[in-house]
Amino acid sequence: MDPAESKRPIIVKKVKKGRHDFHGGSWKVAFADFATAMMAFFLLLWLMGNTDQEQKQAISGYFNDPAGTSATPGSKSIPIGEGGANDAIINLKDPKITEDDIEDLAEQQERERLNQLQTQLEELVDTSDAFAAFKEQIIIDITPNGLRIQIVDKDKRPMFDSGSSELKVYSRRILYGLADVLKKVPNKLSITGHTDATPFDLGNYGNWELSADRANAARRALTRGGIPGEKIARVEGFADSVLFDKEHPTSPINRRIAIIVLKQNISDAIEEAAGQFTDED
């Protein structure tokens, strides 16, 4: 070999391939983007086909006004994500919402709470050993004034001895059991005493005085059971003026103690009336 040829440089020629090299990875990224876009498109079509007009309007309203600060086509909808507060949630300036509406809502919620309390007390009476022998003597119902719990007399099982305002031992036990539940309720209480129509007269002491003293004895038992004194809105005696069984005025069921878990508007009215009476004095 010619020494001159052995010193000639070796040239390597690289052939540059075209851009349509399917052995590279760039096309995969583009295809993934395309597939994702198609999935999103078909998902959108599916959603649009499964939403009603109101929901479509809500979605439109959100994208037009995510913060919910103006009256948009979707202003009746609840915003999604971090859009902020929409007027649809609570529009305090809406002239359709009145004080009466707010009061009605509050009263409805209070009725629901009283219904729950009624259920709780009925379960207590049915399951507690302290009430086992007295289930028939405890009557629980809802009245316009609130939840009423009546403890009535029964033959050979009265709450008090005849002509006495001293509670029987088992009567105290009943009131302590009720107090354990009622002390957890924010509502104030009304306590009333009632007698039957049997005449009772010891000079200056009759059924009116007796019924009031019995109501007050029940109040003392409830406070000993844990109910704060300030939760007692009123204590009254009605003698035989409000009979439970009007057809049988001397029936034992007319002799009773009634405890009412007062609705808020009733306890407010009692306080207001008491304040007016004090002012007049």
pLDDT of residue 133: 86
Residues 93 and 111 reside in one and the same domain? no
Looking at the fold, whether 115 and 249 belong to one and the same domain comes out as yes
Task: Say what the pLDDT of residue 1 is.
Answer: 54
Q: Tell me the pLDDT band of 13, cut-offs 50, 70 and 90.
A: low
Residues 57, 128 share a domain: no
- State the Cα–Cα distance between residues 167 and 218, nearest whole angstrom: 8
User: In this predicted structure, what is the pLDDT of residue 94?
Assistant: 52
Tell whether 195 and 221 lie within a shared domain: yes
Do 137 and 202 lie in one domain? The reply is yes
Residue 4, pLDDT > 60, answer: no
Asked which of 79, 97, 115 is the last residue of a domain, the reply is 97
Q: Among 49-63, 72-86, 150-164, whose mean pLDDT is lowest? A: 72-86
Structural domain boundaries, residue 71: 26-97
Q: Where does a domain end: 74, 97, 120?
A: 97
pLDDT digits (tens, 9 = 90+) for 182-221: 999 999 999 999 999 999 888 899 999 999 999 999 999 9
Pair (79, 112) in one structural domain: no
Cα-based torsion angle of the residue sequence 253, 254, 259, 265 in order, rounded to the nearest 10 degrees: 130
17 is a domain residue = no
119/34 same-domain check: no
The backbone torsions φ and ψ at residue 230, rounded to the nearest 5 degrees and listed phi first, read -70, -10
Check residue 235 and give its pLDDT: 97
Instruction: Examine the domain organization and report whether 181 and 58 are in the same domain.
Output: no
Number of domains in the chain: 2
**Nearest alpha-carbon partner for 250 in 212, 193, 200:** 200
Report which of residues 6 and 51 the model is more confident about: 51
pLDDT given for residue 152 in this prediction: 95
Q: How far apart are CA 99 and CA 94, in angstroms?
A: 12
